[in-house]
Amino acid sequence: MAILEILTLPDDRLKQVSEPVASYDDELRAFIDDLEETRLNGPAAVGIAAPQVGCFRRVVILDCSATRKPVPNHGRLVLVNPEITHWEGYEMGREGCLSVPDYTGNVIRATRIRLTAFDADGAPLEFDMEGYEARAAQHEIDHLDGMLFVDRVVSRRTDLFKRKVYQKGGKP
Amino acid sequence: MTTQWHMLTLIGEDKPGIVAAVTRALFEFGLNLGETSMLRLGGNFTVMMMVSGEHNEAELRDRLKPVIEAQGMCLHIDPIKAHLHEHLVPNIQVTVTGADRAGIVAQVTSALAEAGFNILDLESDVAGTADKPVYIMQIAGVADVAVEVIERALVPLREDGVDVNVSAIETYIG
């Protein structure tokens, strides 16, 4: 087990697209153990993606089970070759990143997603995710495609609030 | 030696090219920008900028005078104690809407202050129409108390016909 070095902006490697995992072997599982140890070592990191430690393979880890207020979640997930197969709705939420220290911003993400992936042994997985956990998966999968949340941050004056109230039938 | 920062406040009639003209003058004077915020308020251009460099307030004012006059702007300069890399992350947001009337901001922010809520960011706007204006305010801040405590503090506002929503901000870090 080892804590790996986190790449931070403006490291161009964070823009690199990661390759699918081809073999589910001991080497992959050892790397996943290191990635998890690195996530737990980071300040308040909920998720982590392999390219953040300079390993350009399609592997992410997320664990939305420890939020201040409980949110719908599937516990700690190791997702290999994850694919989002369905998106629904959108909402704004605040994000930060181990690779972008001392900066948080608002990002619009799909509210509900369906996701397929494989576990560390190559067994297929499928999840319906919503809200915070769906946000986590979208943020981490972005890393696999060389995207950072700063590429998606919206102005603080971009206002979804009025629209949301309207949809709920609230007062104009 | 700690960096000497000044806060520059500039306001004037909005027109294209102001930011470019001002920041070019600052750059050519060897100044660095820190955090900045630019907003259009009621059709006016407004910007506040943290700047640092080897200069005093008088030199800064002299240097900026031509560009400020050319752009027809008002300039205000304050020496400030400031640091970068010390962002606080908000954990609660409050949104307020209601028929526009005097005192909404004072009532909401007083209730928040009493409840131990520290405002980090506040924006308000007047929407609706001239004969039926609607006040909309968004506040983000930090509080050590639960969301419910902040909600309870704002109940009197609700009873007063102001729509107040309080929600936790769970910042995702990944």
Where residue B71 sits, what CATH number does that domain have? 3.30.70.260
Residue among B89, B97, B174 minimizing CB distance to A171: B97
- Asked if residue B57 has pLDDT above 70, the reply is yes
**Could you write out the DSSP letters of every residue in A25-70?**
-HHHHHHHHHHHHHHHHSTT-SEEEGGGGT--BSEEEEE-TT-SS-
Looking at the whole model, is its pTM more than 0.90? Answer: no
User: Is B134 in Cβ contact with A69 (below 8 Å)?
Assistant: no
Q: What are residue B151's phi and psi, to 5 degrees?
A: -60, -45
Cβ-based neighbours of A61, under 8 Å, separated by 6 or more: A32, A35, A36, A39, A47, A48, A76, A77, A78, A79, A140
Cβ-based neighbours of A13, under 8 Å, separated by 6 or more: A7, A51, A54, A56
Residues of B within 8 A of A69 (CB-CB) are 147, 168, 170
Where residue A116 sits, what CATH number does that domain have? 3.90.45.10
Report residue B55's pLDDT band, with 50, 70 and 90 as the boundaries. Answer: confident
Residues B69 and B10 in one domain: yes
Residues B69 and B14 in one domain: yes
Q: What is the largest CA-CA distance in chain B?
A: 56
Instruction: Kindly give the residue spans of alpha helices, DSSP state H, lying in chain A.
Output: 26-41, 131-144, 161-167
The reply to whether A36 belongs to the active site is no
Burial category of A75 from C-beta neighbours within 10 Å (exposed 0-12, middle 13-18, buried 19 and up): exposed
Looking at residue A158, what is its pLDDT? 62
Angstroms from A157 CA to nearest CA on chain B? 8
Q: What is the mean pLDDT of residues A37-66?
A: 95
- Whether the CB of A168 is below 8 Å from some CB of chain B: the reply is no
Residues B72 and B105 in one domain: no
Among A36, A95, A130, A140, the active-site one is A140
Asked if residue B85 belongs to a domain, the reply is: no
- Whether the CB of B81 is below 8 Å from some CB of chain A: the reply is no
- Whether the CB of B174 is below 8 Å from some CB of chain A: the reply is yes
Among candidate residues B80, B108, B142, the one where a domain is terminated: B80
Asked if residue A172 belongs to a domain, the reply is: no
Q: Domain count for chain B, please give it.
A: 2
pLDDT tens digits, residue range A100-152?
A: 999 999 999 999 999 999 999 999 999 999 999 999 999 999 999 999 999 99
Closest alpha carbon within chain A to B136: A162
Asked if residue A4 belongs to a domain, the reply is: no
Asked if residue A128 belongs to a domain, the reply is: yes
Distance in angstroms (rounded) separating the CA atoms of residues B45 and B43: 7
- Asked if residue A170 has pLDDT above 50, the reply is no
pLDDT tens digits, residue range B122-174?
A: 999 998 899 999 999 999 999 999 999 999 999 998 888 889 999 999 999 99
Token readout for B52 is 């640092």
Give the domain extent around A66: 12-167
Give the domain extent around B30: 5-80
Residues B112 and B164 in one domain: yes
